[in-house]
Amino acid sequence: MKKRGLTLTEIIFAISLLGILLLIIVPSYGRIRQRVELKACVTNMRMILGAAQLYILENPEEEHVTVDKLVKAGLLPQVPVCPSLKSPKGGYYEIVDEPNRPLDVICIHLHGKGHGSLRQIIAGSESEGSK
C-alpha cells in the first residue's frame, strides 16, 4: 500500500504562497494601524483644545495653560497619552498658548517625532479633502 503525503514541491509551493500573502497583508495592516493611531491622537488633541478654551474662559487671568492644570480643574479625566506604538512609552501633549497665535495642541513622542500640531493636521486634511 502506498503512503499518501505531501511532496517537497507541494510544501515549497504552500510556504511560498503564504509568504506572498504575508507580503500583501503586513504593509497594509501597518498603514491602517497608523491611520487609526493618528485619528485617536487627533481626538485627544481636540479634547485638550476644547478643555483649554473652556479653562481660559473661566480663568482669564492665568498666564500659561497646561494639561496638568486642565486635569486639576476637572476639565480632563486624566492626562491623555498619544496611542502611537512607534513610541512605546507614549507621547504627551503640550498646549501652545502664545499671544498673536491661535491656541494649539502639539503631540510630542518620547522617542522620535510626534504627530505634531493639531492646527496643522486639520489644515492638511482640509487641503487634502478639497483636491
Interface residues with Zn ion (CB under 5 A) are 41, 82, 91, 107, 115
Q: How far is the CB of 50 from Zn ion (least distance, A)?
A: 17
- Asked if residue 121 lies in contact with residue 115, where contact means CB atoms within 8 angstroms, the answer is yes
CA 101 vs CA 21, 55, 104: distances in Å: 49, 17, 8
Residue 6 is given by DSSP the state -
Q: How far is the CB of 107 from Zn ion (least distance, A)?
A: 3
Q: How far is the CB of 116 from Zn ion (least distance, A)?
A: 8
Q: How far apart are alpha carbons 112 and 114 in whole angstroms?
A: 7
Nearer to Zn ion, 55 or 91 (CB): 91
Nearer to Zn ion, 18 or 110 (CB): 110
Nearer to Zn ion, 76 or 107 (CB): 107
- Asked if residue 39 lies in contact with residue 121, where contact means CB atoms within 8 angstroms, the answer is no
